């Protein structure tokens, strides 16, 4: 992937692939032209476009938070994390080793959707706190609450490459298993398509979907 490093968080490189711009434009346009004018009518076109841009940036931050949660738990479990890359389908955490135990995999998998669900609850709480006002802040909070709850729920579906598939495998993975005692899984993915790596260690990638 052709991606640019935009910074580091907790020593993890944060990268943005050029394809993310596609999602940024599509989300911004759909919100400014379709969603916000219908849900919160009566505002100016400039306000709608501003809301679209702000919401897209906060969506970016929400996906990053989902991926960062996976990566921070992986680091706590002693697994090296190379980077987090955001791209057209969401995000992927480049974790250089497989989880060593079922408990490690469960914690690493569940924390992403849990983060999205918590964010969704916070944003909806802000939206409800702002009612009965229907201004720009309420519009953005409502959208981000809905999208984060949907993101968390979708990623809990019990199928690969979603986080829910990892959770299910961890539950079915009988201890004391080790990484070498089960089939290697090339990626952690929740909304992202699998990618390959030429490194000896099998990478795990985790992606949040939106």
Domain boundaries, the chain: 3-173
- Distance linking the first and last C-alpha atoms of the chain: 20
Q: Find the catalytic residue in 67, 77, 96, 98.
A: 67
Between CA 204 and CA 195 the distance in angstroms is 10
Structural contact between residues 188 and 206, judged by C-beta atoms closer than 8 angstroms: yes
Give the best-scoring range by mean pLDDT among 12-21, 73-82, 116-125, 177-186: 116-125
Confirm whether 67 is a catalytic residue.
yes
Q: How many helices (H) and strands (E) does the chain have?
A: 6, 4
Note the pLDDT of residue 174. 52
Look at residue 9 and tell me whether its pLDDT is greater than 50. yes
Tens-digit pLDDT profile for residues 24-79: 999 999 999 999 999 888 889 999 999 999 999 999 999 999 999 999 999 999 99
Binned at pLDDT 50, 70 and 90, residue 175 comes out as low
Which residue would you say has higher pLDDT here, 160 or 115? 115
- What is the Cβ-side half-sphere exposure of residue 80, based on CA atoms within 13 angstroms? 6
- Which long-range contacts link 153-161 to residues 24+ away (Cβ below 8 Å)? 153/113, 153/117, 154/190, 154/191, 154/209, 155/66, 155/112, 155/113, 155/116, 155/190, 155/191, 155/208, 155/209, 156/113, 160/185, 160/189, 161/187, 161/188, 161/189, 161/190, 161/192, 161/193, 161/194, 161/207
Average pLDDT over residues 5-16: 93
What is the rounded average pLDDT of the residues 97-115? 92
* Spatial CB neighbours of 48, under 8 Å, sequence gap ≥ 6: 31, 32, 33, 36, 37
| Higher per-residue confidence, 52 vs 161 | 52
Q: Residue 173: is its pLDDT beyond 90?
A: no
Mean pLDDT of the chain: 83
pLDDT of residue 94 exceeding 60, the answer is: yes
pLDDT digits (tens, 9 = 90+) for 194-203: 333 333 333 3
Q: What is the mean pLDDT of residues 103-110?
A: 93
Q: How far apart are CA 8 and CA 94, in angstroms?
A: 14
- Residue whose entry in the numeric block shows the structure tokens 């004018």: 37
């Amino acid at each position: 992937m052709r991606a640019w490093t935009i910074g580091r968080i907790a020593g993890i490189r944060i990268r943005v692939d050029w394809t993310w711009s596609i999602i940024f434009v599509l989300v911004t346009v759909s919100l400014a032209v379709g969603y916000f004018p219908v849900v919160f009518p009566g505002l100016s076109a400039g306000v709608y476009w501003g809301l679209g841009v702000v919401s897209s940036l906060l969506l970016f931050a929400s996906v990053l938070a989902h991926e960062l949660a996976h990566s921070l738990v992986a680091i706590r479990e002693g697994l090296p994390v190379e980077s987090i890359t955001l791209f057209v389908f969401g995000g992927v955490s480049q974790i250089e080793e497989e989880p060593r135990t079922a408990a490690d995999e469960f914690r690493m998998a569940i924390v992403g959707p849990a983060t999205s669900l918590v964010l969704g609850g916070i944003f909806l709480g802000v939206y409800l706190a702002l009612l009965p006002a229907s201004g720009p802040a309420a519009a953005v909070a409502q959208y981000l609450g809905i999208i984060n709850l949907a993101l968390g729920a979708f990623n809990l579906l019990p199928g690969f490459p979603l986080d829910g598939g990892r959770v299910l495998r961890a539950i079915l993975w009988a201890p004391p298993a080790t990484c070498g005692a089960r089939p290697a899984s090339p990626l952690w993915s929740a909304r992202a398509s699998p990618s390959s790596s030429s490194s000896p260690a099998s990478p795990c990638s985790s992606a949040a979907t939106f």
